[in-house]
Amino acid sequence: MGRKFLYLAEHGRERRERYDFETGLEDVKVRQARLYTQEQYDEQKQRQSLLSVLLEAGIDVRSNARSSLSTDQLRTILATVKQGA
């Protein structure tokens, strides 16, 4: 690991991509990939699951509004919907 960038290895070989150590973003101008910690990855999966369940319940959270809602807020909305059912 460098001071500013993180390099990954796959099958014992270093990959060409490098990621900013602070942000996790790939150091390229277009189509940036992002590295997530296990906690961030789990949180993202939880959000996707909550959004899917809400959609099944008839609540479509618009994509432009999703980033403004925390995972806890999504859980609260789902609990409210389940309580009212």
Reported confidence tier of residue 14, pLDDT bands at 50, 70, 90: confident
Question: What's the pLDDT tens digit per position in 31-79?
Answer: 777 888 889 899 999 999 999 999 999 999 988 888 899 999 999 999 9
CA distance 69 to 74: 7
2 pLDDT more than 70? no
SS (H, E, C) the chain: CCCCEEEEEECCEEEEEEEECCCCEECCCCCCCECCCHHHHHHHHHHHHHHHHHHHCCCCCCHHHHCCCCHHHHHHHHHHHHHHC
pLDDT in the model for residue 85: 67
Residue ranges of domains in the chain: 1-35, 38-84
Do 58 and 78 meet the contact criterion of CB atoms below 8 Å apart?
A: no
